[in-house]
Amino acid sequence: MSANLTAFAYLIASVLFIMALRGLSSPETARTGNLYGMAGMAIAVITTVVDPAVVSYVWILVALLIGGSVGTIIALRIKMTDMPELVAAFHSLVGLAAVMVAAAAYYNPEAYGITDASGTLKLASRIEMALGVVIGAITFSGSIIAFGKLKGIMSGNPIVFAGQHAVNAIIGLIILGLIVMFSMDPSPLYFWLMTLIAFGIGFLLIIPIGGADMPVIVSMLNSYSGWAAAGIGFTLENTALIITGALVGSSGAILSYIMCKAMNRSFISVILGGFGGDSAGASATRSDRPVKAGSADDAAFIMKNASSVVIVPGYGLAVAQAQHSVREMADRLKEHGVKVRYAIHPVAGRMPGHMNVLLAEANVPYEEALELEEINSDFASTDVSFVIGANDVTNPSARTDPQSPIAGMPILDVDKSATVLFVKRSLSPGYAGIDNDLFYADNTMMLFADAKQMVDEIVQAL
């Protein structure tokens, strides 16, 4: 294949990737979009393999077979609640692959045609390679920490120590220095030193970030994996990689922005860390105000006689594995002529869009799951809000109390509905560590129980 034909095939692959992302604008077009993505990948791989310099087909097939089967088996077995872990693990693989490819190109630059007249690595390629390998290494080790925190292998609590930011800043400067030195003298010492230190800074950057902020971090690492691919694309002078890297990089950046906005946190403060551990809020002041508690029968009676019910799910729903019970409850209510919808806060799950996947898995039609902007104005005309496994995202103090740590955070205005049913084990605060005024409101009835048990009892009573 001539160089022009190859470049043209890569262009087609890139266009197909753009169409794959474009398909995700609606669930109807998304499946076709995914097929475009697969086609694009097949074109990119085949175009590369038919290159006359590529002759070692057995090696390639064996590697594809091993990797492909492992990937497929994992993809078919993974539980939907574990998606954030899976995505973090996949990010780490992209990062490591970027490092390996950079190293391969470093040891055999002739294969990629990136040498100058004297047979050494070109200056521009050195800089691009250094950036690609550093970002790749940070993506790899950072994603491993994110995986560990999401999986619960390591504590979700922020790990902080004195002078942390100063240490990180110094290491960052050392890496910059090494990139400059590698550009001037591409010796293996500088190459591996900067790779190793970049691995180290990846760990250090993510350990101070608490479990609650993981949705931002997973999105950010998604973005990094894209920039790493683009860096390698520049090194190898490959347009398909450059374009795809840019697409993925901007996608991850946008998702990080959306998550930060939904949590009312600035990106900088998330990155600096120290917020939102597992036991956050242990010191929160509890008030002794009276609450109204109810039973499953009460809840069933109230919802059966309502004309509209909005279910507000949070991650606690998934922890209790109550999605299917909730859907069953919704089905029963619909039989009674009640209009049932779901209100999804952007951070309801543990990664962007996670709650929508969990509800879809439980056979909830996607038209019934509405985003915050779509449903918020409807709460005032809603008879019953059924909050299950969520807390901070319904706290009205975000709107009313400028002193509150969550002041200004976009919340679901469930307090405006006629009645609020709140399923919760106790009155303990959420991640933000603050009391929720909603518990004590006149129109709120607390249903103290495990989420799944309570919903099952309500289904029985309906």
Instruction: Say what the alpha-carbon torsion angle 366, 317, 264, 341 is, to the nearest 10 degrees.
Output: 30
Contacts of other proteins in 184-243 (CB under 8 A): 218-219, 222, 225-226, 229-230, 232-234, 236-243
Buried b or exposed e, range 193-213, using 16+ CB within 10 angstroms: bbbebbbbbbebbbbbbbbbb
Instruction: Give yes or no for residue 366 binding other proteins (CB under 8 A).
Output: yes
Instruction: Indicate the residue among 243 and 432 with the shorter CB distance to other proteins.
Output: 243
How many angstroms separate the CA atoms of 300 and 239, rounded?
Answer: 59
> 123-162 mask for other proteins (x: CB under 8 A)?
-x--------------------------------------
Q: Which two tokens stand for residue 198?
A: 């970049």
| Closest approach of other proteins to the CB of residue 228, in Å | 8
Distances (CA, A) of 417 to 291, 348, 442: 18, 20, 12
Task: Tally Cβ neighbours within 10 Å of residue 52.
Answer: 6
Instruction: Indicate the residue among 364 and 432 with the shorter CB distance to other proteins.
Output: 364
User: Do the Cβ atoms of 91 and 139 come closer than 8 Å?
Assistant: yes
Which residues does the annotation mark as catalytic? Answer: 392
Alpha helices in 55-187 (DSSP H): 57-77, 83-107, 123-151, 164-184
Instruction: Indicate the residue among 254 and 319 with the shorter CB distance to other proteins.
Output: 254
How many angstroms separate the CA atoms of 422 and 53, rounded?
Answer: 65
Contacts of other proteins in 255-294 (CB under 8 A): 255, 258
Contacts of other proteins in 333-362 (CB under 8 A): 344, 346, 349, 351-354, 356-357, 360-361
Instruction: Indicate the residue among 253 and 454 with the shorter CB distance to other proteins.
Output: 253
| Closest approach of other proteins to the CB of residue 366, in Å | 5
Contacts of other proteins in 382-421 (CB under 8 A): none
Size of the site for other proteins (CB under 8 A): 114
User: Do the Cβ atoms of 208 and 237 come closer than 8 Å?
Assistant: no
Contacts of other proteins in 78-97 (CB under 8 A): 78, 80, 83, 86-87, 90-91, 93-94, 96-97
Instruction: Give yes or no for residue 67 binding other proteins (CB under 8 A).
Output: yes
Q: Which two tokens stand for residue 279?
A: 């036991």
Per the listing, tokens 């959306």 go with 258
How many angstroms separate the CA atoms of 366 and 376, rounded?
Answer: 17
Instruction: Give yes or no for residue 26 binding other proteins (CB under 8 A).
Output: yes
Instruction: Give yes or no for residue 75 binding other proteins (CB under 8 A).
Output: yes
Contacts of 206 (CB under 8 A, 6+ apart): 141, 142, 145, 146, 149, 217
> 35-64 mask for other proteins (x: CB under 8 A)?
--xx-xx--xx-xxx-x-xxxx--xx-xxx
| Closest approach of other proteins to the CB of residue 364, in Å | 9
